[in-house]
Amino acid sequence: MAELKANNQKPNFDNNPKLIEAIAEMRKNFCAETQNKVINTALACTFLVPAMVEKTTELVADAENHVNFEDKSKAKFILLNNNKTNGTFFPVFTSPEEAKKLQYDKPFQSFAMRFQDIAALTEQTPKVQGFVVNPFGENLPFTQEMLESIKQTLIKVAKERKAAREAAENGEAPDIAVTNNETAE
């Protein structure tokens, strides 16, 4: 399950301004390089994810069968509807200022979550099309399909790095062929 931290625990948003810059650059010059920079920067970010918190009290028995009252909290994440696609997205925000732009009819709390945790939450919620970064600002969606592609790429890179590390530890030389542009035709 995703790790939830209340926003009063000072989450680290250091990489988020870099993400905003990368998004702006990608919008000016849309290409594979700028797209990859946005994805790689987003992977290092922490976002605020709004949820309504319901608190209930339950009777719980311990090992000696003593009954105690325990407060339990349950978070229901807020969803935004995309009128163009008729789909729903989790809104995620890069800063408390961006999160304040969300107008919602019920009180909510924002939780700090890493990109990977939001992707996992999205993957576990099939009715959700993805999540959108700063929906009232940059409005950058990450769809289920994009998240799956990013996940597969990360798995592939991790396997390649592991294989290279194992080869280096075993003293094996990689199979590299060097060509010279002058002789190659």
Residues 6+ apart with CB under 8 A from 84: none
Q: How many domains does the chain have?
A: 1
Report yes or no on 63 lying in a domain: no
Give which of 146, 156, 177 is closest to 39, Cα–Cα.
146
What is the reported pLDDT for 30?
92
What is the DSSP code (8-state) at residue 93?
Answer: B
Angle between helices 144-169 and 115-123 (to 10 degrees): 120
Q: In what order do the strands lie in the sheet with 109-114?
A: 5-6, 109-114, 46-61, 67-77
Residue 51 domain-assigned? yes
Q: Indicate whether 42 belongs to any domain.
A: yes
**Helices of type H across the chain:** 16-28, 32-43, 96-99, 115-123, 144-169
Is residue 132 domain-resident? Answer: yes
User: Domain span at residue 29?
Assistant: 5-56+69-143
Judge whether 59 and 68 are in contact, CB under 8 Å: yes
Residue 159 within a domain: no
**DSSP output for 128-144:** EEEEEESTTTT-EEEEH
What average pLDDT score do residues 111-115 get? 92
Whether 181 maps to a domain, the answer reads no
CA distance linking residue 73 with residue 69, whole number of Å: 13
The reply to whether 124 falls in a domain is yes
For the stretch 145-181, pLDDT in tens is: 888 888 888 888 788 888 777 777 776 665 655 566 5
Model confidence over 71-111: pLDDT tens digits?
777 878 888 887 777 789 999 999 989 988 998 878 888 89
Q: Parallel, antiparallel, or unpaired: how do β-strands 5-6 and 109-114 relate?
A: antiparallel
